[in-house]
Amino acid sequence: MAVTGLLTARTEFASALNQICTERGITPQSVLETIKSAILAAYRKDFGIDEEDTYEVEINHDNGAAKVFLIEKKKKKEVTPPGFGRIAAQTAKQVILQKIREEEKSAILGEYKDRINQLVSGMILRFDGKDVVCDIGRGQGRMPPQEQVQAENYRLNKRLTFYISDIRETMRGEQIIVSRSAPELVSLLFKREVPEVNSGAVEIKKIAREPGNRVKIAVISTQAGVDPVGSCVGQKGVRVQSVIDELEGEKIDIIQYSDDPVKFITASLAPAESLKVEINEAKKEAVVTAPEEQLSLAIGRDGQNVRLAARLTGYKIDIKGLEDKKKKSKPEKKAKTKKEKKTKKENEQKETKPQKTPKTKVIKVKEAKPKEETKKKELKEKTGKTKKNA
């Protein structure tokens, strides 16, 4: 950063002041004002002046000599005590250095405020508790735990690309916050690697990310004849592989964005295929039917695929297998009550148990002979007797 307002280097004081300002990236005027404040503070401390009085300090830009003036009724009266220069210099030294450091930090923060939402290359310097402190050029970035990726291994002197997310006020003053977990890191990496994204010919519409595991990005072409997915993938996957390497192996799904919710949801559940989607736009809900061989792909490990698809599309997605849907489509039998089940069970038990037959008394009854047989027998006996008599 070019420094403006440098003094004419006619003396050693002016040369030294210009050098400090150039190295630190601050203006000579701000340093001189700091010196004036420090000298006035030293004067008040050593000489016990009345706080109600108004004083002013003037510094010679050529030799650095300081003079103290008392302002009374718009008139200036010099009140510089003998030998004050040495006392003022010793007292003000630390204050001046501190002010210079603050000015330097303020200048750095001002520079990085203009770079918020941009990428920056850096190197890990140290660990401060759970925070990772990084060297990002003129300043230091701080990466708190929520901005870190748990799957990544952070070690000293490791070089990474960071996303500048914010300049945050902390107990230690303003800090430059950098991130490795922000979805914006992915979009800016594609902007860096893919000329079509950088030029605006391909637009990244939405991103859903689980840092360290998987990210889904929806892209659309703003120019005729440009394949948005192919542009991001690159020839033989070179472009997308560069982004994967920056993200240390994180899986990337690039899908075609569509205003049609059915098409968009179907594409977002890739790599699953042959899906049937039914949506309720009012409730932002979708029921997806998948063949049995595609069901696990649609859901993903621990539900990750469908979870990212839901975040990407903005729909609550319920995935069902084709066989499950067929079973549900059959008429269901009326559910039996507990009482009916109990009665049926008791009846079955009764049928299976052998029934005891009651003991009966058998009475033998002589059968009555028919009258015709009796008559025949009597006739036969008479005939027999007649033959004997003859």
- Last residue in a domain, options 113, 145, 169: 113
Q: Which residue has the higher pLDDT, 6 or 146?
A: 146
DSSP 98: H
Q: Do residue 242 and residue 274 come from a single domain?
A: no
In this model, does residue 353 exceed pLDDT 70? no
d(CA 204, CA 6): 46
Alpha helices in 72-122 (DSSP H): 84-113
- Last residue in a domain, options 238, 257, 276: 257
Long-range contacts of 77-81 (CB under 8 A, 24+ apart): 79/55, 81/47
pLDDT at position 221, please?
96
Q: Which of 28-42, 241-255, 346-360 shows the highest mean pLDDT?
A: 241-255
Domain count, the chain: 4
Q: Do residue 106 and residue 195 come from a single domain?
A: no
Instruction: Answer whether residue 378 is part of any domain.
Output: no
In this model, does residue 363 exceed pLDDT 50? no
pLDDT at position 365, please?
44
Across the range 148-152, mean pLDDT stands at: 95
The torsion angle over the Cα atoms of residues 197, 199, 202 and 208, rounded to 10 degrees, is 40
The pTM (predicted TM-score) of the whole model is: 0.67
Across the range 49-74, mean pLDDT stands at: 77
Q: Which of 87-101, 195-209, 349-363 shows the highest mean pLDDT?
A: 195-209
In this model, does residue 357 exceed pLDDT 80? no
Render pLDDT for 153-193 as a digit per residue (tens, 0 to 9). 999 999 999 999 999 988 878 899 999 999 999 999 999 99
Q: Do residue 137 and residue 192 come from a single domain?
A: no
Across the range 60-65, mean pLDDT stands at: 71
Q: How far is CA 167 from CA 107, 177, 214, 308, in A?
A: 13, 6, 28, 29
d(CA 188, CA 47): 59
Round the average pLDDT of the chain to a whole number and report it: 82
CA terminus-to-terminus distance, the chain: 173
Q: Do residue 79 and residue 54 come from a single domain?
A: yes
Question: Is residue 232 exposed (0-12), middle (13-18) or buried (19+ Cβ within 10 Å)?
Answer: buried
pLDDT at position 68, please?
83
Here the CATH number for the domain that contains residue 18 is 3.30.1480.10
Q: Find where tokens 């690697």 sit.
A: 193
Around 82, how many Cα atoms within 13 Å sit in the side-chain half-sphere?
Answer: 0
- Give the DSSP letter string of 239-306: HHHHHHHHTTS-EEEEEE--SSHHHHHHHHTTT--S-EEEEETTTTEEEEEE-HHHHHHHH-GGGHHH
374 pLDDT band, cuts 50/70/90, is low
Instruction: Answer whether residue 149 is part of any domain.
Output: yes
Question: Is residue 69 exposed (0-12), middle (13-18) or buried (19+ Cβ within 10 Å)?
Answer: middle
Render pLDDT for 268-278 as a digit per residue (tens, 0 to 9). 999 999 899 99
In this model, does residue 138 exceed pLDDT 80? yes
pLDDT at position 360, please?
46
Q: Do residue 142 and residue 168 come from a single domain?
A: yes
Q: Which amino acid is at 147?
A: E
In this model, does residue 237 exceed pLDDT 80? yes
The torsion angle over the Cα atoms of residues 23, 27, 28 and 34, rounded to 10 degrees, is -100
Q: How far is CA 381 from CA 99, 371, 385, 387, in A?
A: 162, 15, 6, 10
In this model, does residue 35 exceed pLDDT 60? yes
d(CA 21, CA 6): 8
d(CA 265, CA 269): 6
pLDDT at position 327, please?
59
- Last residue in a domain, options 200, 227, 257: 257
Render pLDDT for 107-129 as a digit per residue (tens, 0 to 9). 888 889 999 999 999 999 999 99
d(CA 112, CA 95): 26
Instruction: Answer whether residue 141 is part of any domain.
Output: yes
Residue 118 phi/psi, 5-degree rounding, is -125, 170
Q: Do residue 310 and residue 219 come from a single domain?
A: no
Instruction: Answer whether residue 156 is part of any domain.
Output: yes
- Give the DSSP letter string of 208-247: EEETTTEEEEEEEESSTT--HHHHHH-GGGHHHHHHHHHT
Least confidently predicted of 3-7, 237-241, 281-285 = 3-7
In this model, does residue 250 exceed pLDDT 80? yes
DSSP 48: -
The answer to whether 196 and 203 have CB atoms below 8 angstroms apart is: no
Here the CATH number for the domain that contains residue 293 is 3.30.300.20
In this model, does residue 9 exceed pLDDT 60? no
pLDDT at position 203, please?
97
Q: Do residue 17 and residue 84 come from a single domain?
A: yes
Contacts of 209 (CB under 8 A, 6+ apart): 181, 183, 186, 215, 216, 308
Instruction: Answer whether residue 299 is part of any domain.
Output: yes
Least confidently predicted of 113-122, 135-144, 256-265, 356-365 = 356-365
The answer to whether 91 and 42 have CB atoms below 8 angstroms apart is: yes
Domain with 251, as residue range(s), is 182-257
Instruction: Answer whether residue 368 is part of any domain.
Output: no
Q: Do residue 248 and residue 274 come from a single domain?
A: no
Q: Do residue 195 and residue 234 come from a single domain?
A: yes
In this model, does residue 383 exceed pLDDT 80? no
d(CA 14, CA 190): 49
Q: Which of 58-67, 337-346, 349-358 shows the highest mean pLDDT?
A: 58-67
pLDDT at position 355, please?
52
The answer to whether 44 and 90 have CB atoms below 8 angstroms apart is: no
Q: Do residue 109 and residue 16 come from a single domain?
A: yes
Which of 61, 64, 175 is closest to 116 using CA atoms?
175
d(CA 128, CA 124): 11
Instruction: Answer whether residue 83 is part of any domain.
Output: yes
Instruction: Answer whether residue 336 is part of any domain.
Output: no
Least confidently predicted of 23-37, 114-128, 250-264 = 23-37
In this model, does residue 234 exceed pLDDT 90? yes
Q: Do residue 38 and residue 73 come from a single domain?
A: yes
Render pLDDT for 287-333 as a digit per residue (tens, 0 to 9). 999 999 999 999 999 999 999 999 999 999 999 987 765 555 555 44
Q: Do residue 251 and residue 266 come from a single domain?
A: no
Q: Which amino acid is at 163?
A: Y
In the three-class reduction of DSSP (H, G, I as helix; E, B as strand; rest coil), residue 67 is classed as strand
In this model, does residue 19 exceed pLDDT 70? yes
* Tokens representing residue 288 in the block: 């997806």
